[in-house]
Amino acid sequence: MSSALLMLRGLLYRPWLLATLAASASAILLLLASLGVAMHQLQVNESEQMNARGERFLDRLEQIFGQLREGVDELQAQPARGCDATMLAALQQVAFNNRFVFEAAYVDGQQTCSNRLGDRTFESLPPPDIQGPTYSYWLNTSTEPDDNRAALVLGRGPFRVSTSRGHLTDVVDLPAGGSLLVVLDRGARAVPVLGPVQAWPPPGDVWPPVSTKALVELPDRLVYRMPTKSPDYQLVLIAPRASLPLKINGVLWLLFPGSLLLAWCIGWAVLQLVRQSRSMSSELQGALRRGELQVLYQPIFELTSRNCVGAEALVRWRRPDGSLTSPDLFIPLAENTGQIRQITDFVLQRVFDQLAQLLRANPKLYISVNLAACDVMVPRIGRVAARLLATHHVAASQIAFEVTERGLIDVVVARDNLQALRAVGHQVLIDDFGTGYCSLAYLQTLPVDCLKIDKAFIDALGHDAASSGVAPHIIRMAHALQLRVIAEGIEYEDQALLLNSEGVNYGQGWLFAHPLSARQFVELITRGRRLGPRRIDDEA
């Protein structure tokens, strides 16, 4: 292993460092998520506020336009013309009767009079912004920040009525930087009635938009459209989106300390897990040193003759108190810490120490040993096996190696190393076939002698309709590739008979024998009989 990888492994197995990294990463992710939630909530609040403002403005504008039309229609209908006492009384009456009429005036080419008694005149009005068949509209006639200034003027014939800025804003204030616009010329031009001039149409946008929603949400602004009965204009409330600093309500502020607290909890949990893992790793190292690990042998039988042809070497961890630690717990840990190499070497050494004499006396008998991914990816195990074979005078064909599909991380590298094992006479078996990702295309190129069908597919035979066809499919595929097949986990006689009828020649499982100690396995071979089922803890 390179020095860089060793350094990385050393850093990663420091509990406090791992816990700090986990807490920091969690804090960053949670804070970003909280910020995203806050931004989303801010946008939702903005949209809700804009909707509420738009609805209130729309109600007020409908009231104002209604009264302006009623007032100017009433003046147009009365017979008086000119600036006499009767006209002044009529103008004052219209302003008195209509709350939103700030000023009413009579304007002809010769004279002008108003209910404001000279305080305000319409002499300087430019041409109307909207000239309809009945009414004329003047928009934003005063830019002064004074509520008592006319902001909207409606005319019919010689009469003019206006509303003030205060009448438009007494229901709701404009948002910061927002404007109330009248959109003219089929969306090409917009005149502000309240607020500053806005860029129109919004950059990059087609107006009017395809959406029929009243509120149009753009990346940098919100636009609330107000329907009008006139085809000549539209009313629009426009405001820029809020920018940081965020105005977040109290509930959202809780997300930030909550995120930090949760990140601390994650870091603490990682610290405990790493400590526990390191504790078990230390215990495993001690178990190797004290000889607490033991090797059992799961016999493999020929299904037709029921003769034992070999066994799979299984490692078990029996603690000093007699309890067994499941391989599902310590094998993955050993793979992560690199201790699996020591365990593999231990199993090989124990196989030769316990069974070398039996293997020499039975040249066709073999023992299979499981290899982890790290041993499949490097040629180390071949050198270890060669040294033991030479020392104990055992044939290479009597030591088989089992690899799982999940262990074939790099198929090309694995193929070369497995081919080197086969070249010196070792058998290669694919264990738990069907549970990994080894495709048929890869399987055709791998140097393999035998497939072992996982117990899950054997259990499904005749029971699970969805899975019961997998085992026969694997069997046919293996035969097509001229590979032997071993069925794992056979527990019932009908399973053995069915598998034998499908062309499976070998099997292992509790139907034939539980995992046996070396002494029990030697007894099985030398006496040539099948042992009845026994518990592991009953072994001598």
pLDDT at 471: 82
Among 157, 140, 196, 2, CA closest to 71: 157
Domain assignment of residue 387, yes or no: yes
The tokens describing 372, both together, are 């982890």
In the listed set 220, 240, 260, which residue is the last one of a domain according to the structure?
Answer: 240
Range of the structural domain that residue 145 is part of:
18-240
CA pair distance 399, 367, nearest whole angstrom: 5
**Cis upstream peptide for 208 (omega within 30°):** yes
Domain count, the chain: 2
Whether residue 347 sits in one domain with residue 216: no
**Same structural domain for residues 174 and 297?**
no
Q: Are residues 235 and 298 in the same domain?
A: no
DSSP state of 174: P
Please tell me whether the peptide bond between 201 and the residue prior to it is cis, using omega within 30 degrees of 0.
yes
Q: Are residues 210 and 334 in the same domain?
A: no
pTM: 0.51
What pLDDT sits at residue 325? 78
Do 421 and 534 lie in one domain? The reply is yes
Asked which of 210, 240, 270 is the last residue of a domain, the reply is: 240
Q: In the structure encoding, which two tokens stand for residue 82, read together?
A: 């000119």
Percent of the chain that is helix, strand, coil (3-state, to 5):
45, 20, 35
User: Once rounded to an integer, what is the mean pLDDT over residues 473-498?
Assistant: 90
Identify whether residues 235 and 303 lie together within a single domain.
Answer: no
**CA-CA distance, 403 to 399, in Å (whole number)?**
13
Quick check: 92 and 113 in contact, CB under 8 A?
Answer: no
Answer whether residue 4 is part of any domain: no
The verdict on residue 131 lying in a domain is yes
Q: What is the pLDDT of residue 365?
A: 96
Residue 202 lies in a domain: yes
CATH of the domain at 481: 3.20.20.450
Residue 452 C-beta-side C-alpha neighbours within 13 Å: 25
Residue spans of alpha helices (H) in 160-301: 165-169, 250-253, 255-290
Residue 215 identity (one-letter amino acid): L
Same domain, 216 and 311: no
287 in a structural domain = no
Distance of alpha carbon 44 from alpha carbon 420, whole angstroms: 65
Q: What's the full length of the chain, in residues?
A: 540
pLDDT tens digit sequence for 154-171 = 899 889 898 887 777 776
DSSP secondary structure letters along 469-493 = THHHHHHHHHHHTT-EEEE----SH
pLDDT for the residue 441: 61
Q: Which of 240, 255, 273 is the last residue of a domain?
A: 240
CB 469 within 8 A of CB 433: no
Q: Which residue has the tokens 């393999």?
A: 448
Q: Give the residue carrying structure tokens 């309240």.
A: 194
User: Using an 8 Å Cβ cutoff, are 173 and 145 in contact?
Assistant: no
CA distances, 5 to each of 10, 25, 372, 411 (Å): 8, 22, 19, 22
CB 307 within 8 A of CB 506: no
Q: Where residue 74 falls among pLDDT bands split at 50, 70, 90?
A: very high
- Average confidence (pLDDT) over 479-502: 91
**123 located within any domain:** yes
Residue 212 sits in the same domain as residue 318? no
Number of other CB atoms surrounding residue 139 within 10 Å: 19
Residues 233 and 329 in one domain: no
- The total of other beta-carbon atoms located within 10 Å of residue 530's CB is 14
- Tens digit of pLDDT for each residue in 332-362? 878 877 788 889 999 999 999 999 999 999 9
The pLDDT tens digits of the residues spanning 516-532 come to: 999 999 999 988 654 44
In terms of C-beta density within 10 A (0-12 exposed, 13-18 middle, 19 or more buried), how is residue 142 classed?
A: middle
pLDDT digits (tens, 9 = 90+) for 110-158: 788 888 775 555 667 788 888 888 888 887 666 454 545 556 888 998 8
Which pLDDT band holds residue 539 (cuts at 50, 70, 90)?
very low
The answer as to whether 207 is a domain residue is yes
Do 232 and 324 share a domain, yes or no? no
Question: Could you tell me if 216 and 331 lie in one domain?
Answer: no
Please check whether residue 79 lies inside any domain of the structure. Answer: yes
Better-predicted residue by pLDDT, 225 or 97: 97
Sign of the alpha-carbon torsion through 46, 52, 56, 58: positive
Tell me: do 188 and 304 sit in the same domain.
Answer: no
